[in-house]
Amino acid sequence: MTAQIIDGKAIAEDVRAEVKAGAERLRAQGVTPGLATVLVGDDPASHKYVSMKRKACAEAGIESFHTPLPQDASQDDVLNVVWAHAADPAIHGILVQLPLPKQVDEETILSAVPLSKDVDGFHPLNIGALAMKGRDPDFVPCTPQGVIELLDRSGTKIEGANAVVVGRSNIVGMPVALLLVKRNATVTVCHSRTQDLAGVCRGADIIVAAIGRARFVKGDWLKPGATIIDVGTNMIDDPTRKSGRRLVGDVDYEAALEVAGKITPVPGGVGPMTIAMLLQNTLRSANRAAGA
Ligand code: NAP
């Protein structure tokens, strides 16, 4: 069997086009969706992520408001920026780029983002609502929602499926597991203390791998025909590349291609979906604020 490749880049472009059309409709009513980005410190990767997000906003017709703060900014400095954005009606979403420097408490800052502007979906009350039956969060975290979109738009049936999520982080594994439960999958969450991970994976119709270990999930761990969503991003040495390095996922992609029914590549799978979902959340927030 050769798996169908789930093209995250193409699916993300579809989502971005939908957001652009939605933003145009909103602007015609006099409301421009706005996203505030708060970046503390000099981490090059964080700078790159924020500039990618701002570029994507511009392309989708979302205005971005950027506040860079120095590495030694105090917790109050960051809180003051978040509070100012919270009060600004032109801003529909607030994104505080993580990680924050050690003098700034992440939970305090994320809890200061009003629920109505929590487009990252990391507010504890939004995560709490995700975990509760009969409740819906205002916003769902972007990468986990991107995983669900990839499953839906690739025609993968979630309801009734045996889903295994490898990884239980606050930002990926746990919210993905909660979303899959909400969609009536039977979910097993695995982590570093899981016994017989290979055996657990072999029973899965859907595997979401979010571990951060290069090619950790092997081809012979997969049920034939399973759908594999690979969230991992890991740099490995590759002397055949000019840079000497290359990006791989948490799944042994070449081996998995032979067994799986559908699979996301790395790069070009989950990665592009994260920003697309951020744009979608910002538009949703602006629509709500406009009463649309
Ligand atoms: P994380 O916070 O480091 O969590 C990793 C999880 O994997 C933990 O729950 C850990 O278990 C589990 N784990 C580690 N080693 C394991 C092992 N040997 N067997 C089973 N489970 C194991 O990572 P994260 O932030 O969730 O990110 C995971 C990966 O996704 C990373 O490669 C990251 O770069 C990538 N990512 C990609 C995107 C995107 O947009 N594409 C977004 C976010 C993250 P314990 O809980 O027991 O420690």
- What tens digit of pLDDT does each residue of 144-186 get? 999 999 999 999 999 999 999 999 999 999 999 999 999 999 9
- Please state the φ and ψ torsions of residue 197, each to the nearest 5 degrees: -55, -40
Residue 102: predicted pLDDT: 96
Helices (H) then strands (E): counts for the chain: 10, 11
What pLDDT does 231 receive? 98
Ligand 1 proximity of 64 Cβ (cutoff 6 Å) = no
Query: Residue 1 above 80 pLDDT?
Result: no
Task: Using most ligand atoms within 8 A of CB, pick from 147, 168, 172 the residue to mutate for ligand 1.
Answer: 172
pLDDT confidence bin for 232, thresholds 50/70/90: very high
Instruction: Kindly tell me if the per-residue pLDDT of 119 is higher than 90.
Output: yes
168 lines ligand 1 (CB under 6 A): yes
Please tell me whether residue 220 adopts helix, strand or coil conformation: helix
- Quote the CA–CA distance of 107 and 281 in Å, as a whole number: 21
CA 82 to chain centre: 21
Residue 90 CA to ligand 1 centre (angstroms)? 35
Split at pLDDT 50, 70, 90, the class of 74 is: very high
Q: What pLDDT, on the 0 to 100 scale, is given for residue 3?
A: 98
Question: 127-131 contacts: CB < 8 A, separation 24 or more?
Answer: 127/170, 127/174, 127/175, 127/178, 130/175, 130/178, 130/179, 130/182, 131/178
Mean pLDDT, to the nearest integer, of 97-113? 95
213 lines ligand 1 (CB under 6 A): yes
233 close to ligand 1 (CB < 6 Angstrom)? yes
pLDDT band of residue 75 (cuts 50, 70, 90) is very high
Out of 122-126, 218-222, 235-239, least confident range: 122-126
Task: Give me ligand 1 centre to Cα 176, in Å.
Answer: 12
**Confidence check: pLDDT of 89 > 90:** yes
Residue 101 binned pLDDT confidence (cut-offs 50, 70, 90): very high
Show which residues are catalytic: 53, 97, 120
Q: Is the Cβ–Cβ distance between 121 and 284 less than 8 Å?
A: no
Q: For residue 142, how many C-alpha atoms fall within 13 Å in the half-sphere facing its CB?
A: 22
| Residue 209 CA, ligand 1 centroid: distance in Å | 8
Checking if the pLDDT of 247 tops 90, the result is: yes
So what's the pLDDT on residue 37?
98
Average pLDDT of the segment spanning 205-224: 98
Ligand 1 and 143: CB distance under 6 A? yes
- 40 Cα to the center of ligand 1, angstroms: 23
Q: What is the mean pLDDT of residues 276-281?
A: 98
What's the pLDDT at 40? 97
Q: Classify 190 as helix, strand or coil.
A: strand
Stretch 18-27: mean pLDDT:
98
Is a pLDDT exceeding 80 seen at residue 292? no
- Continuous H helices in the chain: 8-28, 44-60, 75-87, 106-112, 124-131, 142-153, 173-182, 197-202, 253-257, 271-289
* Encoded amino acid at 260, one letter: A
- Ligand 1 center–CA 140 separation, angstroms: 18
The residue contributing the CA closest to ligand 1 atom 30 is: 232
Helix (H) or strand (E) holding 236: strand 234-237
Residue nearest to atom 19 of ligand 1 (CA): 192
Instruction: Determine the pLDDT at residue 113.
Output: 96
pLDDT of residue 81: 98
- pLDDT for the residue numbered 197: 98
Q: What is the pTM of this model?
A: 0.96
Query: Is it the case that residue 267 has pLDDT exceeding 80?
Result: yes
- The radius of gyration computed from the CA coordinates of the chain, to the nearest angstrom, equals 19
Asked whether residue 34 carries a pLDDT value surpassing 80, the answer given is yes
Looking at the CA of residue 172, tell me the nearest atom of ligand 1: 26
